[in-house]
Protein backbone atom coordinates (compact mmCIF):
# COMPACT_ATOMS: atom_id res chain seq x y z
CA UNK A 1 0.00 0.00 0.00
CA UNK A 2 2.82 2.42 0.81
CA UNK A 3 4.39 1.92 -2.64
CA UNK A 4 1.04 2.53 -4.36
CA UNK A 5 0.53 5.69 -2.34
CA UNK A 6 4.02 6.87 -3.25
CA UNK A 7 3.22 6.34 -6.96
CA UNK A 8 0.03 8.42 -6.98
CA UNK A 9 1.53 11.17 -4.84
CA UNK A 10 4.89 11.54 -6.58
CA UNK A 11 4.32 10.68 -10.24
CA UNK A 12 4.06 13.79 -12.38
CA UNK A 13 1.04 14.32 -14.58
CA UNK A 14 3.37 14.84 -17.54
CA UNK A 15 4.84 11.37 -17.02
CA UNK A 16 1.36 9.87 -16.79
CA UNK A 17 0.30 11.65 -19.97
CA UNK A 18 3.28 10.27 -21.89
CA UNK A 19 2.84 6.72 -20.59
CA UNK A 20 -0.96 6.68 -20.85
CA UNK A 21 -1.43 7.33 -24.54
CA UNK A 22 -2.34 3.75 -25.43
CA UNK A 23 -4.41 3.07 -22.32
CA UNK A 24 -6.76 6.03 -22.53
CA UNK A 25 -5.25 7.68 -19.46
CA UNK A 26 -4.01 10.67 -21.45
CA UNK A 27 -7.50 11.33 -22.81
CA UNK A 28 -9.01 10.86 -19.35
CA UNK A 29 -6.58 13.34 -17.76
CA UNK A 30 -7.31 15.86 -20.50
CA UNK A 31 -11.06 15.53 -19.97
CA UNK A 32 -10.72 15.91 -16.20
CA UNK A 33 -8.62 19.04 -16.65
CA UNK A 34 -11.15 20.52 -19.08
CA UNK A 35 -14.10 19.85 -16.78
CA UNK A 36 -12.55 20.60 -13.38
CA UNK A 37 -10.53 23.70 -14.19
CA UNK A 38 -13.62 25.91 -14.68
CA UNK A 39 -15.24 24.51 -11.53
CA UNK A 40 -12.18 24.89 -9.32
CA UNK A 41 -11.28 28.27 -10.83
CA UNK A 42 -14.77 29.58 -10.09
CA UNK A 43 -14.43 29.12 -6.34
pLDDT for res 4? 92
pLDDT for res 43? 59
pLDDT digits (tens, 9 = 90+) for 3-43: 999 998 999 999 999 999 999 999 999 999 999 888 887 65
Of the chain, the end-to-end C-alpha distance in Å amounts to 33
pLDDT for res 32? 92
Number of domains in the chain: 1
On whether the pTM is more than 0.75, the answer is no
* Structural domain that includes position 11: 2-41
pLDDT for res 31? 95
- CA 8 vs CA 13, 15, 30, 31, 41: distances in Å: 10, 12, 17, 19, 23
Amino acid sequence: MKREQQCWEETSLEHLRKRGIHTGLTDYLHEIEQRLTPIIGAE
